[in-house]
Chain A
């Protein structure tokens, strides 16, 4: 099956710093999404981004599908950004509805 690798596995930031999280995937994908799991376990969909660049406030994401990677940028980090960030992909083809998740990047933002 498709492999999804996220880096770094852990990241500690001072409040106000910027960061870049990376997601590499081993095959062409139809769908790539970024999620944030907060410290209480809730999963929030951040971006649906199979290609191109999107921005939402302090967060932005870029996917280069031809090179099989995606980047999530967090600027001016806040303590509320803490949690685990997951990248998830699914395979192209009719009826492919199976998201494969990476193991995540655990982000800790300290005041």
Chain B
């Protein structure tokens, strides 16, 4: 049981490049979400999904795109990377709001 797996762990992008952060879970959780963490801040919600085929925006969705074609996978796409997107990105999953969340180990992204 691997839990929530995020890849890559580290990434450096040039401004304007695009990339996809991968997130996969093997716990059959319906709910998945993406957060970003900036220094001195708590985590802020980017996008979330309550099941395959259903996604919605969180607090800071601009510049990011998501899709949920399967229960297991929830990739986060950066359309045109900007230095303001330099951050640590966490994926999380849960059975639902009444349950605890399991987080992946994070992806540290630097945009230069």
Q: Is A43 an interface residue (CB 8 A)?
A: yes
Complex interface residues of chain B between 47 and 99 (CB less than 8 A to chain A): 48, 50, 58-59, 88, 90, 92, 96-99
Give the total number of A-B pairs whose CB atoms are below 8 A apart. 60
CB-based contact A98/B43 at 8 Å: no
Given A90-B97, A97-B97 in contact, is the A45-B40 Cβ separation under 8 Å?
no
Which residues of chain A are within 8 angstroms of B88 by Cβ–Cβ distance?
41
The count of chain A contact residues (Cβ–Cβ below 8 Å) is: 25
The count of chain B contact residues (Cβ–Cβ below 8 Å) is: 26
A-B contact pairs, 10 of them (CB 8 A): A31-B97, A31-B98, A43-B106, A44-B103, A45-B100, A45-B101, A48-B98, A98-B48, A101-B42, A101-B43
A residues near B (Cβ < 8 Å) are 1, 4, 30-31, 33, 35, 41-45, 48, 86, 88, 90, 95-104
Nearest 8 CB-CB pairings of A with B: A101-B42, A43-B103, A45-B100, A101-B43, A48-B100, A103-B42, A31-B97, A98-B45
B residues near A (Cβ < 8 Å) are 31, 33, 35, 40-45, 48, 50, 58-59, 88, 90, 92, 96-103, 105-106
Known: A42-B106, A98-B48, A103-B40. 7 other contacts (CB 8 A): A31-B97, A41-B88, A98-B59, A100-B45, A101-B35, A103-B42, A104-B42
